[in-house]
Structure 1
Amino acid sequence: MAEFRVTYDAKADAAYIYLGEVGPSGVASMYPCDPIRVGGMINLDFDDSGRLVGVEVLGAASKLPRTLIDQAERV
């Protein structure tokens, strides 16, 4: 199984799930999920090859498992 990294900003209640290496050009595009359908704001980040490299979750405390937030790196 591939390893991933999670960071969490408690003040902003925002988490970022890193799914892969972001190339030198950084995130090439971002797709915002429909906030009404997901009940919040979730953004998908893609690299310049179209690979999903990260997921930003706003309102993370209500969207992610508590164990994931507890184990996340604090920023």
Structure 2
Amino acid sequence: MHMTYDGEADAAYITLAEESAPSESAQQVAFIDTPNGQTQLILDVDSEGYLIGIEILAASAGLRGDVLDKAQRL
């Protein structure tokens, strides 16, 4: 598992699994709103339905600072 953070976009990405093989298309389950009313989640799944990553928009509003501090900065 690995997390990156783009401060300019205020977006984080948590990679849960290796990328899909080039012949496999990842699909997205878009825009899951969180209770804080700001942060949105986008789930990436591979062609077999396995969750491979999570994109977090408005990450600074939805992730604690200590979590963001551990992310690789882009």
Tell me how far apart the structure 2 counterparts of residues 50 and 41 of structure 1 sit (CA, whole Å): 21
Unaligned runs of 5+ in 2: none
Scaled by the length of structure 2, what TM-score is found?
A: 0.84
What RMSD in Å do the two structures reach over aligned CA positions?
Answer: 1.5
Scaled by the length of structure 1, what TM-score is found?
A: 0.83
Aligned ranges 1:27-66 → 2 under 5 Å: 28-35=26-33, 38=34, 39=37, 40-66=39-65
Tell me how far apart the structure 2 counterparts of residues 73 and 53 of structure 1 sit (CA, whole Å): 18
Runs of 4+ in 1 over 6 A off after TM superposition: none
Tell me how far apart the structure 1 counterparts of residues 54 and 25 of structure 2 sit (CA, whole Å): 11
Match of 2:7 among 5, 10, 17: 10
- The number of equivalent residue pairs is 70
Percent sequence identity is 37
> Larger helix proportion, structure 1 or 2?
1
Cα 1:5/1:27, change in 2 over 3 Å = farther
